[in-house]
Structure 1
């Protein structure tokens, strides 16, 4: 791709199931992202079903540059799907990195790194099907325990005609372990096509550090982009303007509420205190601290959302939750006050009887010259 020739380090938003859809891609593009990916799409469904094509792939003219990622276990499914989307994106990518058990069982994802002949054939068949010579065909992989196996795999992919390779620096069995940047560097030095580093990219400092260590032509981030879509623009946390832009784009593009809400949870997670997150995101009441309302920034949370312009989605819900909580706290305070005033007096009739008794004592005391009688003296 020309992008790798014109940009020193290409900043990429990773493919994310349910998340890297059109509205989010447009958002990150406004904040320094150079290349966006679609969510992973099952190539067999896309190839066989018009309904799947309508549901799984939505784009627009301003959604560029865009790579559509497919998962496939048959070359024809991937290559024909690539032909279908050729006019609506800049390239396609074969997922050889998904480590989930269901994907391995289906013969897709990370298990394909052990089948280099198939991966190379997918790239070759796709190159033959697409008509645009500048159309990108890439592969996203994980590494082997023996890095020499990964180098051999990447060389076969390169020979088949791949435009670039994205390397997630963990094996298919690793989850939270540190990314193997040395392995990515070794792969990058072994190939003539661009290599993109993936894994644990959460800040712009991470981008620069990984780029310097590995020598890669690009970096790809997933979770870091969810938590801070403005990461590539140099922000350490999601700025309120970015939240506002997300609301605007979501309204313009008709984003489903669940998708909108989930993205908002990620964006505001580090901006709001715990109670405010619970108010907005509907957490269990068990985690809401039983503090007076003045001790929590519930109205701060409301202000954030109003600034963001998200009243159409969440304003009413938040207001209801805040009002309900205030009402409950006021009612509880009133009950406590009433209990203090009538402590020891269970019923109003008993209070009235006690008052009459005290008046009787006072009257007898006045008749006897001011000496208050003992209770047994009262007849």
Structure 2
């Protein structure tokens, strides 16, 4: 399909600013609808395997669904074969706004399957996949990449190759293939800016988003046309609305959406671990309860158990009764101080002696910060 990238951006994607990223087994329909409620302008599907999707009806049924409210939507496939990518894309081209080629997945499964960031040096193959799809699809083709560490020139040439092949929109994660897990570290916003400056197609920046204030800062520093969140939005699906809802409220909303649009139960439970990530260390028995949950009723019971443990309905006052007993830092002190004057958890803040920054209480949605993230 030959379409002007900026017409596609403006009229099909509606000039999005805040984007929910593609995430393996995580960005399913109920979660996308949840983030849309909290101001996500554009959502990606989970990364789907093009070969399985095109050849296995059960895989398609289990791994992808959408609805009228789920728009605009980009469906992402991983692939190392032009025919497979085209076949999969043909099956969804009328159910989405665009199809995306994943060129950024750094996980071990991507290495074993030879796709994602592990084919980023095979430019002829990548170009063939994009050109073949562009010639035969009625929906635009987009890509999501990682950068080459300490090699801005190569990142620029890589992105230009993708544009020349027919890519209409580029998502740029400002980390390299090797920046993952404990080695994640900060994303390289200056390199995203350089890549953007050498392209004539829209660019979505990805990386270093922990709080709402980071969103506009990222766009400012990278000159990107939009900003994408992945890990942070899993912990706080309301990120784009500049809010920190109670974890039990968000979990309840998500579970209700899952009842309308069923997904794999293990995926639902995985979302609960993300949402309740700071509460679970406080409540080890309830962590065990979540681990052993088998039904939606079990999850409803878990939500109520967490709420009961941390919420005092008689005076509308939040008190983490187990906080001081069960969460200890290396120096033997609690990482949170309860403000006796506060009557809502959102007003409970700890002022660090060395900084003016505030720490949110653990029962509200907030980002997960990896150890050594800022080092």
TM-score by length of 1: 0.71
Task: Select which of 189, 193, 203 maps to 2:197.
Answer: 189
Q: 2:97, 2:148 → 1: CA distance?
A: 29
Summarize the Cα distance change of 1:29–1:316 in structure 2 as closer, same or farther, 3 Å threshold. closer
Q: Structure 2 residue aligned with 1:221, among 194, 204, 229?
A: 229
Match of 2:74 among 60, 63, 67: 67
Conservation of the 8 A alpha-carbon contact between 1:243 and 1:264: yes
* Cα distance change on mapping 1:210 and 1:235 into 2, 3 Å: same
Residue 84 (structure 1) shift: 1.2
Q: Shift of residue 239 of structure 1? A: 6.1
> Within the alignment, does 1:275 sit opposite 2:282 as a pair?
yes
78, 83, 104: which one pairs with 2:111?
Answer: 104
Counterparts of 2:302 and 2:115 in 1: how far apart (Å)? 44
User: Residue 243 of structure 1 aligns with which residue?
Assistant: 251
Q: Which of 147, 165, 180 in structure 2 is aligned with 1:143?
A: 147
1:30 corresponds in structure 2 to 37
Q: Aligned residues, how many?
A: 293
| Residue 119 (str. 1) matches residue 123 (str. 2) | no
Instruction: Give the Cα separation in 2 of the matches to 1:91 and 1:273.
Output: 38
The whole-number CA distance in structure 2 between the counterparts of 1:136 and 1:207 is: 26
RMSD: 2.7
- Partner Cα distance (2:9, 2:259) in 1: 33
Compute the displacement of 1:261 (Å): 2.5
The aligned counterpart of 1:342 is none
User: Which residues of structure 1 form unaligned runs of 5+?
Assistant: 285-309, 324-379
Structure of larger gyration radius: 1
Separation of aligned partners in 2, 1:161 and 1:316 = 48
The answer for the alignment partner of 2:55 in structure 1 is 48
Task: Name structure 2 gaps, 5 residues minimum.
Answer: 310-375
Note if contact 1:16-1:39 (Cα within 8 Å) is conserved in structure 2.
yes
Distance verdict in 2 for CA 1:316–1:67, change over 3 Å: closer
Within 5 Å, give how 1:1-379 maps onto structure 2.
2=7, 4-5=9-10, 10-131=17-138, 135-145=139-149, 146-175=151-180, 176-236=184-244, 241-270=249-278, 272=279, 274-276=281-283, 278-279=285-286, 282=289, 313-315=299-301
Residue aligned with 2:130, SS: helix
Change (3 A) 1:142 1:282: same
- Residue 196 of structure 1 aligns to a residue whose secondary structure is strand
Bigger helix fraction: 1
After superposing the two structures, state which structure 1 stretch, 274-283 or 191-200, moved more: 274-283
Quickly say closer, same or farther: Cα 1:141–1:317, change in 2 above 3 A: closer
